[in-house]
Structure 1
Amino acid sequence: MKKWLLFAVLAIGLTVFASACGTSGTGPAGGAAPAATSGGGTPAAANASDELVFKHQLGETKVKKNPKKVIVFDFGALDTLDKLGVEVAGVAQSNLPPYLAKYKDAKYQNIGTLQEPNYEKISSIKPDLILISGRQQTAYPELSKLAPTLYVGVDNSKFVDSFKANMKMLGQIFGKESAVDAELAKIDQAVKEVGDKAKASGKNALVILANEGAISAYGPGSRFGLIHDVLGITPVEKNIEVSTHGQSISFEYIAQKNPDYLFVIDRTAAVGGEKAGAKALVENELIKKTKAFTNGTIVYLDPSYWYLSGGGLVSAAEMIGEVAKGFK
C-alpha cells in the first residue's frame, strides 16, 4: 500500500511539473501570463505595484493607483481630472471658475473653502486621495491624517517643469499617461508658436492685477510670469518684486514704462467683488497715452484661468491661447 501511494504521488508531481514547464511565462496564444485575480475576476489589489510614492513640496505621499474617492481643492487639478474623465467625490465649491460650474451640483460634496477645509465633511467622505495647492498648504498636516494628500501647486520659478510633473503624476495615478502626454504635446506646440512670434516682434509687455481699485505688477518668476518665462515676451521691467500679491504700482509707473503690451487680470471679477470692472479702472487718461492703448494692445485675460485655477491641462492651454490671440 505504501509503495502504491509513493508511486501515485510521484506521478502527480511529474504531471504538474510538465504542465508548468509548458506554460511558464505565457498565456493564451503565446501572450503574457494572465495577472493573478481575485474571486471576482479582477486583478488582485495586493501587489506593491498598485501603490505609488510621490515626493512633493510638502513631503512624501503614498497613493494607491486609481483611487475611487478623490477630493480636490486645487482648480487646476480639477480641470485636469475633468479633462481626463476622472470622477471626483468632493470639491471646494466657493469661487468655482465658471468653466467648472458643473461641480456646484449636489452630487459633489462641498469640502469647505479654499482657505478653510471642512475637516468633518472630509472625514465623513473617507477619501482615498486629497489634492491641494498653495492656498491649503498650512492645512496639509491635518488633511494628511484623513487621507493621502498630494500638493499639486505649480512652482512659478520653474513653471513648465513643475506643471508637467504634476500632470504626469496625475496621469500615473489614474492610468491616463497617454492622454496626458498627448495634451502636453499640444501645449508644447502652442508655447513654441507664441515664443517664435514674441522673439520676432521685439515687443515688450507689463502684466498687472487689478484689485478693488488698486493695481500691482508681476514680472519674471511671478505667479503670472508664464508670459515672460515660458512664452518669451520681454518684460518692460526685469526687476519687478516677486511676491504673491505683486509689486504695488501706480498708473504713473505704467505711463513711465510705456509698455507695448499691457496684460490685465481682474481679481475683483474673479472673486465677485463690487468695484467697477478692470477696463474702467485701467483705461484712464494716463494709460491712454501709452503705446499699449494707442495700438490696441491692452489684453484683458480671463481671471478664471489666471487667478482661480492655472496649472491644469485646460487652464494652461487656455492661458497660452489667450496670450497667443492677444499678441498680434
Structure 2
Amino acid sequence: MKKKFFFISLIALFTLILAACGEKKEAEENSSADTTSEEAAPTKDTSKEDNGTRTIQYLGESYEVPEKVERIVVTGAMEAMEDMVVLDVHPVGAIAVGGEFPELYASVTDEAESIGEKIKPNFEKILELKPDVILGSTKFPEEVKSKLEKIAPTILVSHISTNWEANLNLLAELSGKQAEAEKVLTTYKSDIEAAKSTLTEKLQGETVAAIRIRGGQAYVYPKEVFFNAVLYEELGLEVPDAIAKAKAQEAISVEQLAEMNPDYLFVQFSADENADAPNAVEDLKKNPIIQNINAFKNDQVFVNIVDPLMEGGPAYSRIEFLKGVQQNLTK
C-alpha cells in the first residue's frame, strides 16, 4: 500500500513539473511572438520629417523643402535665372529660349539640361531630373502649378519687380548663400546712393526714359516696372507723364514719344521679340517725327546697354543697368 501511494505521488509530482515547464515555454513563445510582432509592425518614419525637411517663408507663404537643396529646376521664372547668375547657383534644369540657353545665363547653365521654353515646361524632363525644389513663375496657370507640385516642392517666383529683394533672398535661403545675397544688396544700395549724388544735379530738368521694342512696336511700363524702378524710384529722376500714367506694358506711338521728348532714351531690343521687324530701331531713327526728339538730335539714344533678355526688375538687371546708366549719363 505504501509502495502504491509512493508511485501515485511520484506521477503527480512529475505531472506538475511537466505542466510548469509547458507554461514557461508557452510564456516564452508568447513573449517572443509579441517581440517579433512589434519589430515587424510598420511605424511612421519621422526622421525625414524631423531632420530631412525645413520650412521657409516667402512673400507670406510657408514652403516645406528638403533640409539640403542641391537639385533646383527653374521653369518659367526668368527672374530666378537672373538671381542664379548673381549668387552663382547652378540649376540641374533651366529655361531655354529658342531651344538654347541664352548667353545671359551661361555662367550657371554649364551643368543644366533644358526643361522646355519659358511658358512650356517639359514635365517628363523635370520628373527625370529628380529636383529637390522647382522654381516656377507666378504667371503660371493653376494646372501647371498642380502638375509641378506632384513632382517636387514648387515655389512660384514673383514676376512683380518690387519683390526683387524677396526673390533674391529666397534663392539665397534655398542654396545657403544668405551672406552672398546680403553683400550683393548692400553693395547695390551703396552704388545707387553714389550714382544719385552724381546724377541728380547733372540731370536736373532733363527727361530720361526707357522703352522696349517688341514686334516692331515701342512700349513703356509703369514707373516701378522694367528698368523704370532704377531711374525713378531709386535714382529719383523725374517721371515723364506717359510713364506715370501707364498701368502695365503699354504701346506708345511715335507721336506720344515725341510729346514726351526725352533728353536721354534707353532702348531695349531683342531679335527674338522682333522676328518680323528686325530693323525696327533703324526704322524708328529714320522717322521724321522721331528725329526731332532731343535724345535723337543729340545722340543720346542708348540701345541695349544691357542684355535685351534682362527682365529689368531682378537684382542682376538692376546692377547691370545702373552700370550702364553711370557709363552713359556721367560723360
Residue 206 of structure 1, aligned match among 198, 205, 209: 209
How high is the sequence identity, in percent, across the aligned residues? 23
Rg larger in structure: 2
**How much does 1:143 deviate?**
1.3
- Counterparts in 2 of 1:131-150, with a 5 A limit? 131-136=135-140, 138=142, 139-150=144-155
Look up the match of 1:166: 167
The one-character-per-residue Cα deviations of 1:251-299 (angstroms, maximum 9, x if unpaired) are 1111122111222111x42446252344303212222211112222212
Q: What residue in structure 1 maps to residue 105 of structure 2?
A: 100
What is the match of residue 262 of structure 2?
A: 259
Tell me the equivalent position of 2:129: 125
Residues 133 and 321 of structure 1: is their aligned pair in 2 closer, same or farther, counting only changes over 3 Å?
Answer: farther
**DSSP 3-state at the match of 1:87:** coil
User: Is 2:330 aligned against 1:325?
Assistant: no
Check conservation: 1:190, 1:321, Cα contact below 8 A: no
Equivalent-residue separation in structure 2 for 1:151 and 1:231 (angstroms): 29
- The correspondence of residues 267-286 of structure 1 with structure 2, limited to 5 A, is 268-271=270-273, 273-284=275-286, 285-286=288-289
For 1:9, the equivalent position in structure 2 comes to none
Answering whether residue 317 of structure 2 is matched by residue 315 of structure 1, we say yes
TM-score w.r.t. length of structure 1: 0.73
Q: Deviations over 1:26-58 (max 9, x none)?
A: xxxxxxxxxxxxxxxxxx97645951222448x
Tell me if the contact between 1:97 and 1:309 (Cα under 8 Å) persists in the aligned partners: no
Contact 1:262 1:299 in 2 (8 A): yes
Bigger shift: 45-54 or 209-218? 45-54
214 and 82 in structure 1: CA distance in 2 versus 1, 3 angstrom threshold: closer
**Aligned CA distance change for structure 1 residues 97 and 231 (closer, same or farther; 3 Å):** farther
C-alpha distance after superposition, 1:126-157 (max 9, x if no partner): 2110112244355223212221111223423x
Q: Relative to structure 1, is the Cα distance of residues 165 and 93 closer, same or farther in structure 2, using a 3 angstrom cutoff?
A: same
Secondary structure of 1:304's aligned partner: coil
Amino acid at match of 1:148: P
The yes-or-no answer on 1:188 pairing with 2:193 is: no
- Answer yes or no: is the 8 Å Cα contact 1:69–1:126 preserved in 2: yes
User: In structure 1, what is the Cα distance between the partners aligned to 2:90 and 2:216?
Assistant: 39
- Assess if the C-alpha contact under 8 Å between 2:165 and 2:315 holds in 1: no
2:5 is matched with none
1:4-38 CA deviation, whole Å, 9 max, x = no partner? xxxxxxxxxxxxxxxxxxxxxxxxxxxxxxxxxxx
Contact 1:163 1:311 in 2 (8 A): yes
Answer with 216-225 or 249-258: which moved more.
Answer: 216-225
Indicate if the aligned counterparts of 2:258 and 2:293 stay in contact, CA closer than 8 A: yes
- Could you tell me whether the CA contact under 8 Å between 2:216 and 2:274 is conserved in 1? no
SS in 2 for 1:67: coil
Q: Unaligned 5+ residue runs, structure 2?
A: 1-46
Gaps of 5+ in 1: 1-43
> What's the counterpart of residue 27 of structure 2?
none
Deviations along 1:62-118, one digit per CA (max 9) or x if unpaired, are 22243121101223322433443433211112254322236666x422111111111
| Separation in 2, partners of 1:165, 1:172 | 10
Equivalent residues of 2:115, 2:125 under 8 A apart: yes
Aligned-partner SS, 1:131:
strand
**Alpha-carbon RMSD:** 2.7
Query: Is contact 1:54–1:61 with CA below 8 Å preserved after alignment?
Result: yes
Q: What does residue 34 of structure 1 align with? A: none
One-letter amino acid of the counterpart of residue 291, structure 1: N
Quick check: 1:153 aligned with 2:181? no
The separation in 2 between residues aligned to 1:101 and 1:166, in whole angstroms, is: 20
**Secondary structure of the corresponding residue to residue 116 of structure 2:** coil
Q: TM-score, normalised by structure 2?
A: 0.73
Displacement of 1:303:
6.2
Question: For 1:49 and 1:230, how far apart are their aligned partners in 2?
Answer: 41
Q: Match for 2:158: what amino acid? A: G
Partner secondary structure for residue 140 of structure 2:
helix
Matched to 1:195, the amino acid is K
Q: Residue type of the partner of 2:116?
A: G
Specify whether residues 278 and 317 from structure 1 end up closer, same or farther in structure 2 by C-alpha distance, changes over 3 A only.
Answer: farther
Change (3 A) 1:61 1:124: same
SS of equivalent residue, structure 2 residue 96: coil
Summarize the Cα distance change of 1:191–1:251 in structure 2 as closer, same or farther, 3 Å threshold.
same
- Kindly tell me: are residues 180 and 319 of structure 1, through their superposed partners in 2, closer, same or farther at Cα, counting changes over 3 Å? same
